[in-house]
Structure 1
């Protein structure tokens, strides 16, 4: 384009129109990519450029990072896409807060790492203006032309007006990205906490180890995708492992079965069992095993996997294993989470092995010993047992701790528990116990208690009938203090609502839309009175926007960093 024969923006009216279009683009887009693409298209009519770039300051690296908005050549970012502040034209603009013009790039000597990149792209002149808001310096907006001396003082003045608007939009986009990143992090942490809670619930509410493992893997697959999951039990005397439980997704081929696998070192779980530490494997490791299990996993299409040892009280019980059809599917974060899951499964495994040992001894246990065995299977919680012919006749010490009772005073009565149950939850508990006794149906309820010391706690309780030859002979159950989990869940909800509110709220004139002379006159008065400490009276009928005007005055005042407090005067007595 010949700038001497035809200027992209040769009248003041056209410049104002261009600024209006830039403002429109800013109001439409909230993501940085969409904003940049729209901005480049709109500015082409008013500014002479072939290359347009956004250079943002990275405070962690003290460097300027390049984002290409417009360039004739398609492809990746050039080698000089990230440079120290003092070696970049954008860094000079960011540091000095002054516009920069390079009329002839080939004569420029201050930026030896950048000028070769510009010349390679055919750029002969370049200019950059600072992107700065009232809160912080963001970076610079740079334009490059294939013509020499393409940018005049008038162009710089206009570009600085554009940059002031763009800076606000870029700042909003960066803040929005930060908020979204924080939300994703909270969601990520929430999903992992929920998984651990579900695994714990599976351990305490299911007595069969295979049922525990099936419920665990169903929850685990939502957080860590995988095609195969297995539970190995280790026999240290014979140095072999047995696949005690196996769960396969619908995409599996069904080649693996439960049962004896073979020597420890013939399996991908060998390193984890030998070292007691998690171990990752890939298809190359499976080929090097030269064993049946390795060949079967390869036939299933497994490309990567993770094995985590199951340990309890310094005793190695086996391993928890998952596999994927994708290479490198598991990160260190996944390994850490899987280790936490394995710690809980290890409790269930240890209990199952303990029960198996007791069964092999074929000793007939007394009723109280049977209650104790079942309570041991419900790990990490308080347990109770009730004989229908008597009253509640057994409570573990943890039950006393959960309900704030003194074991020295003997077993609590039903009346004692009714006084502790929260009044609003008593009906829920009574209905659950009624079904347990009259219909033989187990229950799983969560309720609130008010302990004798006045503290409010949340309790999750599981109850189930005990049958002998099909006849109900008693009832056992477990209760667990879930107050901390409940508080974390409530806190996550509050954080979510807070972040959503933060994203929705924008304190500027974008809340006020209108072109009438009366509205413009009011906004002019807002700009006049806001910087002062004078008291302002805003009059108008209900629904005319008095609160929006008050918020605008606050946001333009010296008190904008403080809280804006709304008060319904009609509610004041």
Structure 2
């Protein structure tokens, strides 16, 4: 169709249009500006520019999407075989309706570049006698263009060809500089990501850092590292989903390999780039990805993580919005995947080294336990001395029965370990042993803790509480420091032992229980009974089967075994590598008196492990002076004999007068009477003697 370039536009009008279009920075902006001009002149509702690149046979689309946003899209197949192909072969106007367009080029409409329209016109863009693209004018309604309107469209297309060539030329002139800038920026990103990931040896920390860096530089929504597991045909997937920028979701899944996209990458060893659609057949993990983002179309990029000839896993990237996986970004992501593969290989090697190291430590501990020659039923109890062997025999004898056991011994000798061993060897070991320390709380709280209480039983009892005896039903109850139980609670404990029944505080309902009692104390209960500090009937009820634990100083042959066990256990807990203990250190420790017994020895070893640098336990013996007890002065034999006709109260009062009321100390009344200070005070209280009144 012949047309007049100037048409009915005046020279000034054409000049103004050309100047406005030349001011546009790029081709999407040019298409947007043309759309506004076409709307003002009622010529079209949308204008798009199509450029053809003959070398790659690619068509670039510049225009607006269905939401009115500027859009740039490139395509080597669909657009290149669309309407622009007709214009390249026949340089004349192409005009059609939506139905005709859909029938001829349905694949172009599937690209979703075109919102529904009524009438379509494509005019060629030419420069120096050669067509290099086309200009699309689209009307939403089905109104045909008049000859006058078509003349204006031809005029605008001629101007667009001139302006597009100028803009493209300007952009091409900056292409070299932009390419250098791009390569510089890519190099900086590559260095930053490499430094970040190669510094991490822990696998979890490494995966978190990979996700953080990739999201920071590429704004990708979901980042996953897929690794093979020790089980055949299973995968470990470590994912981070940036649904919310400030609170990413971390997920660890164990999934089947079959049917996943990762399986295709493992088989081919090549990158996979595709779009997920709602109707696709997807593995559960891919379906979960799809649903997490509201069933939006997902663009997935799967990159193999290959180090040497070994494919370690897959870097899986998912993105909702298009435009992230450009050729330039894909090239950079390939390079990043190569660095990530190195970091993953390092982390897996570090993980394997730690596993082997822990196995060695476990084997060492196991061998140490074998040396002890103690049955595994005795748990953490270590000792092969005669006295400890005798204790363990007693434990075996009494464990199968339901008899009450009283464990006696100094502080730190391991009374709770013995109690646990009795429970573990008993018929009640299917339920856990319940324990309570009688010295750890006041009488009121102790009673509530032992027997429970009803709501409103006392101030602050807002809810019903079950006591330790009910918790220990059909099991064992361990009463530690039973010698410190207040006198007023002892009758209630005696009743439970005799009748196996009690009432909660604030209740008159009798509770029946089946509890096996194991008690322990470091005090002399027999002496406390004589001094009326402990009920005799409760003492005899507890003292059914007493087990006396020897102090550490009476079993020095066990000290080397304990030192080795504590050293390896504490070093393992602190992530230290200590595999040797000097023989001189073991001999020196065996000669010490250990007033704090096994607990004191463990504390000393813990301090030594902390101070050790290297793999040989270092124990500074001068620092151990506090472990060696000072020589105790010889106890003075009671010098005060009972005078004729003098009862106990008169004797105590006389000695108090002679010592001016001083009870303790080397010149005090307790020393002269041959009694402990606490014993003397107890007797004074019982006899009603007030030293202040003497």
Pairwise TM-score range, normalised by the shorter structure: 0.3 to 0.5
TM-score normalized with structure 2 length: 0.33
Rg (Cα) greater in structure: 2
TM-score normalized with structure 1 length: 0.39
